[in-house]
């Protein structure tokens, strides 16, 4: 009946997309799939928010309902900690005052990378910390791309060369980057002549161009990856709620022994507020995890008040802008390795458009951005990114402020090291701070994880949970060690690169046989 109503072309477009429509128009046979489709994953419906709020409330009603870990913060780090702990068998709760990935974790450059600029600092500044960061990130990059392959992919990135002496310099640097990745390297870097570089990246500035080096890193959808971490943690038994804020902590009396914590002075009760209903209730736990990123110092002060404490985190503003798709080819990015002020700017294809960034502007220490306040991109920051993009691209591209489709700002939680002089008159520039992470155990027993980046979230979570198990004596509560190195996130089961083509062919075959297909 469908054949009588619709033409073959209409059916093909409706059921298989333009690729199948092309096959039908040209009457070419479509080869049947060589292997059966993978079985669908078992159906699963996560608990409702009301059910998870009830689980939070129940923790204060009986010691049996008490959580092993209460994680504060629903970004990449907090969600990673919740997944790691839940997959080991611990009873975990996570609260997020806004929506998941509403802060720094959704405002990244969308790269899964080892950090070529960190490698440059490691070599020329003989900085072993930077070297360790690159090695760790390259290892985690490999795991990241396997964990959720439907949310991440490899991306070639072009590094244009405008001076002849830079050819061996950049080529050797990218080859060292490949070498450090070892067997986990995505794909080898390579040199391009000027003509080939312009063919691969047509909008590139040709004036003075000598050639280019292309290296490979990963790209991912950061906010969706965050949600996948949350859902996978819930699937492993974690209780996770958004729009629930930790408003205060109940400090135990050291002279009493009613607390179930491993030591009397450790925190074991928090007051949580459901910001949608303004209802506040207690939640009991054995260990509190501070994964609030750039706002970690606020929770540190709440857990262990100390007006003389130096801050652990220095906030840095990172601004990105969205541009039309013609600014960059669909399958290649661009890196400006040295901007006028020594930073790095990327120009990357993203979701049918182009993103450019980022800035690295320190937030004044006396007035850091408060938790819950959305940072906004300032006009001068947008102009700075545009000016750098204009330097990278050909004059006839006509880079214009009117081309900016949107702009966003995220706050980096940079760890203040001993050399950063947090209280001095001339603090270290934020671009000079190592992007490593630090785990701090407070006298109250709270464990704070700060620093790091998206690529290394899994390793940060592993170390945090290891610390929690050791400090709070949870060895008898875990059923295994860390399993996240091989644990795939929800949505990955049965996924493969050409799955959409096989599904489209199945639908087309059903339509040809007159079988009704449900969406």
pLDDT tens-place string over residues 424-457: 444 454 444 546 789 999 999 999 999 989 999 9
Mean pLDDT of 210-221: 95
Q: What is the pLDDT of residue 317?
A: 92
pLDDT band for 158, please (50, 70, 90 cuts): very high
Token pair in block for residue 301:
């002060």
141 is a domain residue:
no
15 is a domain residue:
yes
Residue 120 has pLDDT above 80, yes or no: no
* Burial 8-47, CB ≥16 within 10 A → b, else e: eeebbbebbeeebbebbeeeeeeeeeeeeeeeeeeeeeee
Looking at every residue in the chain, the average pLDDT score rounds to 84
Residue 30 has pLDDT above 50, yes or no: no
Mean pLDDT of 507-514: 82
50 is a domain residue:
no
Verify that 87 and 118 share a domain, yes or no: no
43 is a domain residue:
no
Q: What is the pLDDT of residue 112?
A: 93
Verify that 182 and 116 share a domain, yes or no: yes
Verify that 428 and 386 share a domain, yes or no: yes
Instruction: Report the range of poorest mean pLDDT among 116-130, 240-254, 461-475.
Output: 116-130
Verify that 207 and 332 share a domain, yes or no: yes
Token pair in block for residue 437:
């992470």
38 is a domain residue:
no
Verify that 119 and 197 share a domain, yes or no: yes
CB contact at 8 A, 136 and 115:
no
Total structural domains in the chain? 3
Q: What is the pLDDT of residue 262?
A: 55
Residue 375 has pLDDT above 70, yes or no: yes
Q: What is the pLDDT of residue 5?
A: 35
488 is a domain residue:
no
Verify that 327 and 422 share a domain, yes or no: yes
283 is a domain residue:
yes
CATH number at residue 385: 3.30.9.10
Verify that 213 and 246 share a domain, yes or no: no
Domain housing 426: 111-135+150-219+313-432
Verify that 353 and 427 share a domain, yes or no: yes
DSSP one-letter string for 253-292 = -TT-----SSSTTS--EEEEEETTTTEEEEEEEEEEEE--
Q: What is the pLDDT of residue 344?
A: 86
Mean pLDDT of 467-492: 94
The residues near 113 (Cβ < 8 Å, ≥ 6 apart) are 137, 141, 217, 218, 455
Mean pLDDT of 323-337: 93
Verify that 92 and 123 share a domain, yes or no: no
140 is a domain residue:
no
Distance between CA atoms of 40 and 38, rounded to whole angstroms? 6
Tell me the CA distances in angstroms from 412 to 62, 68, 147, 184, 289, one per residue in order.
39, 29, 24, 28, 19
Q: What is the pLDDT of residue 426?
A: 44
Verify that 208 and 328 share a domain, yes or no: yes
Verify that 401 and 320 share a domain, yes or no: yes
Residue 325: asked if its preceding bond is cis (omega within 30°), the reply is no
Higher pLDDT, 170 or 501: 170
Percent of the chain scored above 90 by pLDDT? Answer: 61
Verify that 354 and 403 share a domain, yes or no: yes
Q: What is the pLDDT of residue 90?
A: 97
Q: What is the pLDDT of residue 264?
A: 63
Mean pLDDT of 268-275: 96
């Amino acid at each position: 009946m469908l054949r009588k109503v619709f033409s073959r072309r209409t059916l093909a477009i409706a059921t298989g997309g333009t690729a199948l429509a092309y096959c039908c128009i040209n009457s070419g046979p479509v080869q049947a799939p060589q292997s059966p489709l993978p079985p669908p994953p078992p159906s699963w419906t996560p608990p409702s928010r009301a059910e998870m709020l009830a689980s939070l409330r129940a923790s204060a009603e009986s010691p049996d309902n008490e959580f092993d870990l209460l994680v504060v913060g629903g970004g990449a780090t907090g969600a990673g900690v919740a997944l790691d702990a839940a997959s080991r068998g611990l009873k975990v709760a996570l609260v997020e005052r806004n929506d998941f990935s509403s802060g720094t974790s959704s405002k990244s450059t969308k790269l899964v990378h080892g950090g070529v600029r960190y490698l440059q600092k490691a070599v020329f500044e003989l900085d072993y910390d930077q070297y360790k960061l690159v090695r760790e990130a390259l290892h985690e990059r490999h795991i990241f791309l396997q964990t959720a392959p439907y949310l991440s992919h490899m991306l070639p990135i072009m590094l244009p060369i405008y001076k002849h002496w830079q050819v061996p310099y950049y080529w050797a640097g990218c080859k060292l980057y490949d070498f450090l990745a070892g067997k986990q390297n995505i794909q080898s870097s390579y040199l391009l002549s000027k003509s080939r570089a312009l063919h691969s990246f047509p909008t590139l500035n040709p004036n003075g161009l000598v050639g280019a080096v292309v290296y490979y890193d990963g790209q991912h959808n950061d906010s969706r990856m965050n949600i996948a971490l949350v859902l996978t943690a819930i699937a492993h038994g974690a209780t996770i709620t958004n729009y629930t804020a930790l408003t205060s902590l109940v400090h135990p009396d050291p002279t009493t022994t009613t607390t179930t914590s491993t030591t009397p002075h450790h925190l074991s009760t928090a007051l949580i507020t459901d910001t949608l209903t303004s209802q506040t209730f207690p939640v009991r736990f054995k260990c509190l995890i501070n994964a609030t990123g750039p706002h970690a110092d606020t929770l540190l002060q709440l857990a262990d008040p100390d007006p003389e404490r130096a801050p652990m985190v220095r906030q840095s503003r990172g601004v990105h802008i969205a541009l039309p798709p013609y600014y960059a080819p669909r399958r290649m990015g661009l890196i400006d390795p040295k901007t006028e002020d020594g930073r790095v700017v990327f120009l990357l294809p993203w979701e049918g458009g182009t993103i450019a960034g980022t800035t690295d502007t320190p937030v004044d220490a006396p007035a850091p951005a408060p938790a819950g306040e959305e940072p906004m991109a300032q006009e001068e920051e947008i102009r700075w990114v545009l000016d750098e993009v204009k330097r990278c691209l050909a004059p006839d591209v006509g880079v214009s402020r009117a081309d900016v489709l949107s702009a966003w700002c995220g706050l980096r939680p940079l760890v203040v090291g001993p050399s950063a002089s947090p209280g001095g008159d001339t603090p270290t520039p934020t671009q000079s701070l190592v992007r490593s992470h630090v785990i701090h155990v407070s006298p109250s027993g709270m464990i704070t994880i700060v620093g790091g980046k998206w690529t290394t979230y899994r390793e940060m979570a592993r170390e945090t949970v290891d610390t929690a198990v050791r400090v709070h004596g949870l060895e008898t509560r875990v059923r295994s060690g860390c399993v996240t190195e091989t644990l795939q996130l929800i949505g990955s089961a049965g996924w493969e690169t050409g799955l959409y083509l096989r599904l489209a062919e199945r639908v087309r075959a059903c339509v040809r046989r007159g079988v009704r297909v449900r969406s």
